[in-house]
Amino acid sequence: MDMTSNTSNQKENAPTNVVGKPLDRVDGPAKVTGAARYSAEINVPGTVYGVLKSSTIAKGRITGIDTSRAAKEPGIINIFTHENLPKPAKTPKQIEKWRAAQSYLPMQDNQIQYAGQPVALVVAATLEAATQAAALIKVTYQAETPIDSYHDPKAELFDPQKIQQGKKDAHVVRGNPQQAYDGAAVKHEATYVHAINHHSPMEPAATLAVWEGADKLTVYEASQNVTMHQGALADLLGMPREQIRVVTKYIGGGFGCKGSFWPHTILTVLAAKAVNRPVKLALTRPQMFTGVGHREDQEQTLKMGATADGKLVSIVHTKKATTSPWDNYTESNGKVMDMLYACENYSTVYELARANVMTSVWMRAPGEAPGSFALESSMDDLANQLNIDPMEIRLRNYADYDHSNGKPWSSKSLKQCYTRGAELFGWSKRNPKPGQTRRGRMLVGHGMASATYPVHSSQGTARVRLFADGHAVVEAGATDLGTGTYTVMTQVSADALGLPPEKIRFELGDTRLPTAPGSGGSVAAGTVASSIMAAAQDVWDKVVKMAVADKKSPLYKAKPTDVKVELGRMFLSKDPKKGETLLAALGRSGQPDIEGSGTGKYGAGYEEKNFGQNGADPNNDNKEKKTGGHSMHSFGAHFCEVEVDPDLGTIRVTRWVGVHGAGTVLNLKTATSQMTGGAIYGIGAALMEDTFRDPNFAHYTNADLAGYHIPVNADIPNIQVEFVPESDPYINYLGVKGIGELGMVGVAAAVGNAVFNATGRRLRSLPMTPDKMLEAMRMPA
């Protein structure tokens, strides 16, 4: 084949420039036709079914397990209990850097530490037989009285010193907060309660464990982070990482719960090895409430001191929360209070109480969501107390730099968000006097709150393979939770290579691909996009080298450093007309394809690499040199209208506007959907989500989707979302800030603030259910 003549006639591709465009999801056709296969749907011949049996007590020990009736079910292959399940090479406790939230592995002995803890695993030829057999297993227990939460009189609050596996301090002090509070002209103190919330993704957690040989394992896992799952399995099994492959091509939501490692995965893997068959195990919906963590029940007390004109002088925050018998996980609510406003004095202290519950875990906007509920509700109170407009009080406390660390912002568009949001919402028409606006019988209220989320430093690797026939395969071991990773990375790759998006195949969700971060902490988009750009640059460099050495190239004999690449076209920086496409040069080379790889950074690591240790600002006397020179956050503002039924206490959100500044938006359609979903996730927490733990038995009484209410279609009005233009050179190559969590931060407060405006009553306990509203209505405003 004469590649040369082919390509010399080839017209140069028009620049595509698809980043930011509202492309339909590239994985959309597979999802709307049912072709997308999630982890429990991979068809591996010979697969048998695993079903877990869960403990009915929350504390005590197993005194006997009778499997005789269960074993008679037709098709039973094996019934595993702590007595016969093969042990892992190491338990989490024996692993130096255990990477998951929960360090306790059930079914290692007869101890029961929480309700719903796995006590047996049945493997059978059919799902029906395994399910029935699990029901027929008779477990006898010696039950002890459990502790249900920090509320429990038996619970003892303790100072954990560090929270989140030792990663964060449980005491943070800046300035002299108590003294500043004592001397403040205006004081406000309030306590906020947050119910237990469960992530409740629509796809239950699932593991399909396939031993390809004695020392070779493939796991199809509902995972937000295949690298994490691979690493945890390697640690537990004592196997080299490369012998374990974790695959997640499609995942039915996660919201955090599938980003940590939970017992069912290793139990399934161990059972599969023992029966020498692929074993598929999906948690039942009730097991989703005791199998993959939750947002912990918690209570925050927030003291705010301010000047007479509403300027904050002190924030004193404490948090009490329930944790498991083994781990000190708790959300760090203080982060948002430390940085959102200009305040010189700040402290937060965490206290935990051990109870018979599994370890809680990060759930969408961990810390920021409940933290902002307290902070933004108190700000609203302060505004009302001082007769200042809620948006105005926020502007008076606007932080021009990050007071938590003294660093300048890499970018911040919060003022624009306030202005644009107020305009879209019609904020100026709001009646500032609470309880004055009616629509028929309904009390109408308007509230607003700020949103913010940090840019967590992260890095990852990608591989780009550009084929001479004009298509490309781009790979990174990331995941797409529904967040649009497949789509936005296709767009980024298209622009990097100058190809139309339909000529890009982006592969993710496999540990065989280059290591990329999982979906969590809103790092995926920025990190993977940066990684792809780094890999694409590697391809550019290689093709530029080819071109400058090729007599037929317009760039022949040019210095590679004088050549720029944009949208797949190489050209002389000084004479942009002189150039050709990557494909033209590659085609002439006779090489069928060319491959590049690269590591991209997100956040502080990117800044440090590209702008030096102190960032671009030489006047920044930042002491934490290691983490770069700028503070990096996204910001936004929510505006909410509610209708409150004064007789029934029901609260309905009737209007919503969210305006956000989050750097470069990679796809306006998917980004808008994600922010809309964030607002609704927050409305769920605000108005209905509450997993109730029985105080006597410490088990959940509403552990299913009929008992645990999440928003349904009829609960939700139209949600208006906009992004303000924002460019940020410091955070990553494309200036992308993550948006997965941002949309939820401040939502519950915006709802509560609207409820206050409607009724003159402040609800400080989430969710704001009708009983709480009615009770408040009975009290004087």
Partner 1 sequence: MSAPTTPAPLNPDGSRRTFMKQAGGFLGLALAPPFLSQAERLTALSKKVEGVSTISLKVNGTVRAIRAEPRVTLLDALREYLDLTGSKKGCDHGQCGACTVLVDGKRVNSCLTLAIMTQGKEVTTIEGLAKEGGELHPMQAAFLKHDGFQCGYCTPGQIMSAVACVQEGHAGSEAEVREWMSGNLCRCSAYPNITAAILEAKGQMG
Phi, psi of 313 (to 5 degrees): -115, -20
Closest distance between partner 1 and the C-beta of residue 130, in Å? Answer: 11
Q: Least CB distance from residue 41 to partner 1, whole Å?
A: 4
CB of 679 to partner 1, least distance (A): 8
One of 128, 566, 741, 775 is an active-site residue; which one? 741
* Phi, psi at 168, each rounded to 5°: -130, 150
One of 248, 268, 360, 674 touching partner 1 (CB under 8 A): 674
Q: How far is the CB of 700 from partner 1 (least distance, A)?
A: 15
Q: Please give the full DSSP string across 324-373, using - where no structure is assigned.
A: -SS------THHHHHHSB--S-EEEEEEEEE-SSPPP---SSTTHHHHHH
Per-residue x/- track, 483-522, partner 1 (CB under 8 A): xx--------------------------------------
Q: Does 616 participate in binding partner 1 (rule CB under 8 A)?
A: no
Structure-token match 């091509």, residue found: 249
Q: Answer whether 264's CB lies under 8 Å from 205's CB.
A: yes
Give the closest residue to 206 by CA, choosing from 279, 135, 102, 255.
279
Of the candidates 477, 711, 738, 760, which one interacts with partner 1 according to CB under 8 A?
Answer: 711
φ, ψ for residue 718, nearest 5 deg: -70, 140
Partners of residue 350 on adjacent β-strands: 319
- Binding flag, residue 440, partner 1 (CB under 8 A): no
Q: Which tokens in the block code for residue 52?
A: 């877990």
Residue 476 near residue 514, CB atoms below 8 Å: yes
Partners of 112 in beta bridges = 60
Nearer Cβ to partner 1 (589/676): 676
Of 635, 677, 670, 629, the residue nearest 656 (C-alpha): 677
d(CA 560, CA 691): 61
DSSP state of 554: T
Chosen residue from 713, 727, 779, 780 binding partner 1 by CB under 8 A: 713
DSSP tag of 510: B
Locate 514 and state its tokens: 């280059």
Nearer to partner 1, 434 or 636 (CB): 636
Give the single-character DSSP code of 519: S
**Residue 741 falls in the annotated catalytic set:** yes
**DSSP state, residue 556:** T
For residue 636, state whether it binds partner 1 (rule: CB under 8 A). Answer: no
User: According to the binding rule CB under 8 A, does residue 718 interact with partner 1?
Assistant: yes
The distance of closest approach from Cβ of residue 192 to partner 1 in the complex, given in angstroms and rounded to an integer, is: 24
Question: Which of 118, 146, 160, 201 is in the footprint of partner 1 by CB under 8 A?
Answer: 201
CB of 452 to partner 1, least distance (A): 21
Q: Which listed residue (127, 190, 275, 549) binds partner 1 by CB under 8 A?
A: 127
Q: What is the DSSP letter of 744?
A: G
Whole-number Å distance between alpha carbons of 650 and 379: 24
**Shortest distance in whole angstroms from residue 654 CB to partner 1:** 12
- Candidates 168, 465, 564, 669: give the one binding partner 1 (CB under 8 A): 669
User: Residues 33 to 62: which contact partner 1 by CB under 8 A?
Assistant: 33-38, 40-41, 43, 45-49
By the rule CB under 8 A, 74 interacts with partner 1: yes
User: Distance between CA 385 and CA 189 in Å, rounded?
Assistant: 12
Residue 415 C-beta: closest distance to partner 1, Å? 27
Strand ranges in 623-763 using DSSP code E only, listed in sequence order: 633-644, 651-661, 719-723
The sign of the torsion formed by the CA atoms of 42, 48, 49, 50 equals negative
Chosen residue from 6, 8, 12, 24 binding partner 1 by CB under 8 A: 24
Interface pick for partner 1 out of 7, 16, 18, 25 (rule CB under 8 A): 25
Quick one: which segment of 23-31, 504-512, 608-616, 766-774 binds partner 1 (CB under 8 A)? 23-31
- Report the alpha-carbon distance of residue 428 to residue 407 in Å, rounded: 33
Binding residue count for partner 1, defined by CB under 8 A: 69
Among 259, 629, 677, 738, which residue sits at the site for partner 1 (rule: CB under 8 A)?
Answer: 677
Mode of pairing for the β-strands spanning 48-54 and 279-282: parallel
Distances (CA, A) of 321 to 100, 258, 302, 331, 606: 19, 22, 15, 9, 35
Among 202, 438, 559, 575, binds partner 1 (CB under 8 A): 202
In angstroms and rounded to an integer, the radius of gyration of the C-alpha atoms of the chain is 28
**Nearest-approach distance from CB 286 to partner 1, in angstroms:** 9
String marking each residue 220-259 x if it binds partner 1 according to CB under 8 A: ------------------------------xxxx-x----
What phi and psi, each to the nearest 5 degrees, are found at residue 121? -135, 115
Selected range binding partner 1 among 92-100, 172-180, 198-206, 617-625, rule: CB under 8 A: 198-206
Whole-number Å distance between alpha carbons of 151 and 320: 10
Q: Which residues are catalytic?
A: 741
Binding stretches for partner 1 (CB under 8 A): 24-25, 27-38, 40-41, 43, 45-49, 74, 125-128, 132, 200-204, 250-253, 255, 282, 284-285, 481-484, 669-670, 672-674, 676-677, 679-681, 684, 704-706, 710-719
